[in-house]
Amino acid sequence: MELIPLFMFLVVCLVLMAGYPVAFTLGGTALLFAFAGMISGQFDPSDLTFLPNRLFGIVTNQTLMAVPLFVFMGIMLEKSRLAENLLATMARLFGPVPGGLGIAIVVVGALLAASTGIVGATVVTMGLLSLPTMLKLGYSAPLSSGLICATGTLGQIIPPSIALVLLGDVISSAYQQAQLDMGVWSTKTVSVGDLFVGALIPGLVLVLLYILFVFGYSLFRPDKAPAASAEALGSADKGLLRELLTSLAPPLLLIVVVLGSILTGEATPTEAAGVGAFGALLLALANRQLDLSRLREVMRGTTRVTAMVFMILIGASLFSLVFRGYGGDETVQHLFEQLPGGVVTATLVVMLVIFLLGFILDFIEITFVVVPIVGPVLLAMGLDPVWLGVMIAVNLQTSFLTPPFGFALFYLRGVAPESVATSDIYRGVAPFIAIQVGMLLLLAAVPEMATWLPAQIYGTD
């Protein structure tokens, strides 16, 4: 009986690896196990009566309203040629510096991450715009491809990130569940805004580490990451300041308004997402990149992504309901308590499992399926919810880069020239994976990197 929940989880992973849609895999597996349990008398059918309440909670969750708004913001900015203009200007600014084009890509990737929060869109956009230019200017294929993949995944950790919105909502529920399990009825809460603030310093540190790596690499291997003249990049220095202001100021202002309103408490993440979506619409109008055809394309893209997210959430809710009906939460708690080393070993095991699952599952599935199972148990063992959320986010970001199944690698492979071999992409991401693992170890050793800023802004413990 205790092994049934674990067998459920294993079946879901196997069916997903066979290529079946995530949402229907989760819901279908849960229903099959529920019906089998009813027939054998091991599952109480009354547990399924809680499903309507869960679905009603999903559709009335104000935090999740931020998802379609941030998706709209990201797709609209992608279609408004923001990345193209930014990259051209930043390349001219940093081009004469050793590794300057690589540094420009990191900066633009970080800005796009803060603007769009969508990993696939950032990797594909940067791959199409910058990879041919880097190769033409003499950059090595491994460095170029690895850098684009790594900067594309910054959208996982730099707020406002869709991953952090979803993860924050799940962590909040897990934190309240953990307190109730411990007999604390006056529960504390943790919000998406807390997770945004907690991820800010680790995200910026990652950007800095990427820049330092590219600069250091260019000093030791100047033939692999050469400096480039403004003429080689397609224009002279004339008007650079004006172009810098016109291309950098609008997205930077939008990021400051969206993040600033959240950090100062003037707006919730959902309200800030609404402001961001409207701001992206204005930027597209200002760049003369908006017509009915493009607006229709953005709306359809937003609808597809949002429908996918909520269908997965519905399937995950059904899976979680049946999983708990079989006593899966007690099974996980018992397994963790039996591990030597207590909370340290339990956290290490969970991080390893999430890292491995990142090879075959997207961050949405892991957030909705794995975190609700292990989150309450870990939080009940005394972990800080913001720290745990940031650790999971960085961990998922790392799994996006890891060969052979990293999603960012597939995204870039789809748009990279034939001259760039798959082995080049694999070799290129290796140093960035090391940087990511180093960040995880740094966060584990210094939790204040994630918890200090929320405590200063919100006065939390």
pLDDT for the residue numbered 178: 83
Q: Where are the domains of the chain?
A: 4-458
- Residue 311 sits at the vertex; the CA angle it makes with 327 and 279, to the nearest 5 degrees, is 125
* Long-range pairs, 86-89, Cβ under 8 A, ≥24: 86/111, 86/112, 86/247, 86/248, 86/251, 87/126, 87/129, 87/130, 88/233, 88/234, 88/235, 88/243, 88/247, 89/240, 89/243, 89/244, 89/247, 89/248
For the chain, report the end-to-end CA distance as a whole number of angstroms: 40
pLDDT for the residue numbered 115: 65
Two tokens, residue 54: 């869960």
pLDDT for the residue numbered 446: 93
Q: Return d(Cα 220, Cα 156) in angstroms, integer.
A: 30
Residues in the chain with pLDDT values less than 70: 1, 83, 114-121, 185-187, 228-240, 360, 405, 459-461
Q: For 110-169, what is the HEC assignment?
A: HHHHHHHCCHHHHHHHHHHHHHHHHHHCCCCHHHHHHHHHHHHHHHHCCCCCHHHHHHHH
Angle between helices 100-116 and 66-79 (to 10 degrees): 140
The residue count for the chain:
461
Q: Return d(Cα 175, Cα 100) in angstroms, integer.
A: 44
Indicate the pTM of the whole model: 0.83
What's the chain's Rg over C-alpha atoms? Answer: 23
Q: Return d(Cα 66, Cα 330) in angstroms, integer.
A: 33
Query: Of 77, 65, 66, 75, which is closest to residue 280 (Cα–Cα)?
Result: 77
Contact status, residue 378 vs residue 343, Cβ threshold 8 Å: yes
pLDDT for the residue numbered 236: 46
Query: Of 407, 413, 411, 417, which is closest to residue 133 (Cα–Cα)?
Result: 417
Residue 144: CA count within 13 A, CB half-sphere: 29
Residue 247 corresponds to which amino acid? Answer: S
Q: Return d(Cα 77, Cα 50) in angstroms, integer.
A: 40
pLDDT for the residue numbered 411: 80
Q: What is the pLDDT of residues 150-203, one digit of tens each?
A: 988 887 888 877 888 888 888 988 888 888 777 776 667 788 888 888 999 999
Angle between helices 448-458 and 385-399 (to 10 degrees): 130
Q: Is 308 helix (H, G, I), strand (E, B) or coil?
A: helix
- Residue 77 sits at the vertex; the CA angle it makes with 147 and 309, to the nearest 5 degrees, is 85
Contact status, residue 393 vs residue 113, Cβ threshold 8 Å: no
Contact status, residue 414 vs residue 148, Cβ threshold 8 Å: no
pLDDT for the residue numbered 119: 64
